[in-house]
């Protein structure tokens, strides 16, 4: 998967004194954006007085809203997230966004996506930034000129956090330094509301709460019977069991609840802030690979994550104390006994 080589030679060394405004491009999903936040922290440390902006899709705005390392969040809406689904209107909006970005005269644009794509290359080029860092395009790619400082993809498996930090090497940020944790703004009002909701549902202050997020992309799904069995195990340990009703996925949580021996607490999380506030109250979180897993890591909640086709070496929850379960790239192949053992280790702090 490592490209044959960059289309262009690496650009000239970047003088830190010339950097007054930096734009990071990360226009994909919530978990991906959260995995970018350690790189934002590293950029802020490197350029404490620079204007630091990030361009994200509207779907992921909450992942960086209020981030203390960011001065500005630039947002656009992808056509698939527009109520009308119009590609034409999405393109018009993007044209307006890139025109506004060009007028700001950013010194550097960093394209922090998984690998080079034509659309990402064009987006970096249209920012007008004279220095454009990104993963190296394949050799002889016609849009190789869009990246002035290409960084080869890592040859060995690396976590997404580390891959993002590696893209900052042309700016003098050593990738080998200890990586910061994920950053997600904590909302005191939302957390107070979450505590009040749990109290009204019968959870006493100081109780050990284990939350389960049972919905996921089809390739990552774990059977409801096994989720129910694992939730019953936690309840037998004395935990207050919460099932998260994600937007549009309430049926999945209710299916698991119907198969449990003890009724759990069902909690709707209509927004990212509500999910983060709930997970911040929990002792442990159990989920399949997805954005919720990174939200839990960002608020410091230990997680047991069940993986399907994604590589855990790249996408595991970032930070200490988490447990990852994977079996030949098939989530359904992960046995209940293995998940119970992982949950027991996390419960005991081992």
Domains 16-171 and 188-347 fall in the same CATH topology: yes
DSSP helix/strand/coil, 12: coil
Residue-range domain boundaries for the chain: 16-171, 188-347
Number of H helices, E strands in the chain: 11, 12
CATH 3.40.50.970 is held by the domain 16-171: no
pLDDT in tens, 203-239: 998 899 999 999 877 778 899 999 999 999 999 999 9
pLDDT at residue 350 in the model: 63
CA gap 294, 284 in Å, rounded: 13
- Residues 188-347: name the CATH superfamily: Glycogen Phosphorylase B; (3.40.50.2000)
CA gap 275, 268 in Å, rounded: 8
pLDDT at residue 115 in the model: 85
Query: What pTM did the predictor assign?
Result: 0.92
Tokens representing residue 41 in the block: 């922290």
DSSP helix/strand/coil, 151: strand
Half-sphere exposure of 131 (CA within 13 A, CB side): 22
Q: Do 210 and 240 meet the contact criterion of CB atoms below 8 Å apart? A: yes
Tokens representing residue 294 in the block: 């990174």
Q: What is the pLDDT along the chain (350 residues), one digit of tens a residue?
A: 333 333 444 566 788 888 999 999 998 899 999 999 999 999 999 999 999 999 999 989 999 999 999 999 999 877 566 677 677 777 788 889 999 999 999 999 999 988 888 989 999 999 999 999 999 998 889 999 999 999 998 888 999 999 999 999 999 987 765 678 999 999 999 999 999 999 999 999 889 999 999 987 777 889 999 999 999 999 999 999 999 998 888 899 999 999 999 999 999 999 999 999 999 999 999 999 999 999 999 999 999 999 999 999 999 999 999 999 999 999 999 999 999 999 999 998 76
CA gap 98, 25 in Å, rounded: 12
CA gap 136, 292 in Å, rounded: 30
């Amino acid at each position: 998967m490592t490209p044959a080589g960059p289309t262009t030679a690496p650009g000239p060394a970047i003088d830190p004194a010339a950097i007054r405004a930096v734009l990071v491009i990360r226009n994909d999903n919530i978990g991906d954006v959260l995995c970018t936040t350690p790189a934002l922290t590293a950029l802020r440390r490197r350029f404490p007085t620079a204007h630091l902006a990030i361009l994200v899709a509207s779907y992921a705005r909450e992942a960086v809203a209020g981030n203390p390392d960011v001065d500005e969040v630039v947002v656009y809406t992808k056509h698939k997230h527009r109520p009308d689904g119009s590609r034409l209107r999405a393109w018009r909006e993007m044209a307006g966004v890139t025109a506004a970005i060009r007028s700001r005269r950013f010194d550097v644009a960093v394209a922090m996506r998984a690998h080079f794509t034509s659309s990402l290359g064009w987006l970096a080029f249209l920012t007008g930034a004279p220095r454009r860092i990104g993963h190296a395009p394949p050799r002889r790619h016609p849009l190789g000129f869009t990246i002035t400082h290409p960084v080869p993809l890592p040859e060995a498996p690396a976590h997404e956090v580390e891959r993002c930090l590696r893209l900052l090497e042309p700016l003098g940020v050593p990738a080998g330094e200890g990586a910061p944790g994920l950053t997600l703004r904590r909302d005191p009002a939302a957390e107070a509301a979450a505590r009040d909701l749990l109290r009204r549902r019968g959870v006493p202050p100081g109780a050990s709460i284990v939350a389960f997020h049972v919905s996921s992309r089809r390739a990552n799904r774990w059977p409801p019977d096994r989720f129910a069995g694992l939730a019953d195990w936690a309840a037998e340990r004395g935990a207050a069991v919460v099932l998260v009703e994600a937007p549009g996925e309430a049926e999945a949580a209710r299916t698991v609840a119907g198969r449990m021996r003890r009724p759990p607490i069902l909690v709707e999380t209509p927004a990212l802030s509500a999910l983060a506030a709930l997970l911040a109250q929990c002792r442990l979180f159990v989920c399949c690979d997805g954005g919720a897993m990174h939200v839990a890591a960002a608020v410091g909640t230990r997680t047991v994550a069940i993986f399907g086709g994604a590589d855990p070496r790249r996408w595991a929850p970032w930070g200490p104390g988490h447990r990852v379960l994977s079996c030949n790239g098939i989530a359904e192949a992960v046995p209940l006994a293995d998940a119970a053992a992982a949950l027991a280790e996390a419960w005991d702090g081992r």
